[in-house]
Amino acid sequence: MPYLIAIGTAFTLLVLFLLLTAVETARGKRIFVGARKRLDRKVGQAAFIVEHVDLGAFVRDTLRAGVERILHDIAHGSLIVVRFIERALTRFVRTLRGRREEATTAARPRRSFREAVRHVRSTVRLRRLSIREKEESESL
């Protein structure tokens, strides 16, 4: 059946072409001049391409570029998914650490301001003493 359709279409186009040329010779004028010039130009370009271009290499290069693009898009998409999972896990771990810190902070009593100042003074005094001892040992 497809063969009959193809043969019928080709035969119909042949008859229409012969009818068109007969009408043009009878009138002495061409019909659809602008459209036919554009069509002739396009057919000439297509014929030039078919004659001079290596279609096998063109198809191979086009397929290679398409596959590379698809692989790039897949890699990009997977990277976005991995980053999304990483951010979700980071937020989850941060909340868990926050809960644990809250539990340890609640268990240990808070220092008063006076105790904190006393701690800083003693630490500074100890550091001064250790610096003096180093200087004395170096001068010997």
Domains of the chain, residue spans: 55-108, 112-140
CA-closest candidate to residue 24, choices 12, 36, 13:
36
Higher local confidence (pLDDT), 58 or 127: 58
pLDDT at 124 over 80: no
Q: How far is CA 14 from CA 7, 33, 109, 114, 131, in A?
A: 11, 19, 101, 108, 108
Q: What share of the chain in percent tops pLDDT 70?
A: 89
pLDDT for 19 equals 94
pLDDT for 68 equals 98
- pLDDT-derived band at 30 (thresholds 50, 70, 90) equals confident
pLDDT at 38 over 90: yes
Q: How far is CA 71 from CA 23, 81, 85, 90, 103, in A?
A: 57, 15, 21, 28, 48
Q: How far apart are CA 111 and CA 108, in angstroms?
A: 9
Q: Which of 25-29, 37-41, 129-133 has the lowest mean pLDDT?
A: 129-133
Q: Which residues neighbour 44 within 8 Å (Cβ) at sequence distance 6 or greater?
A: none
Q: How far apart are CA 86 and CA 48, in angstroms?
A: 55
pTM over 0.75: no
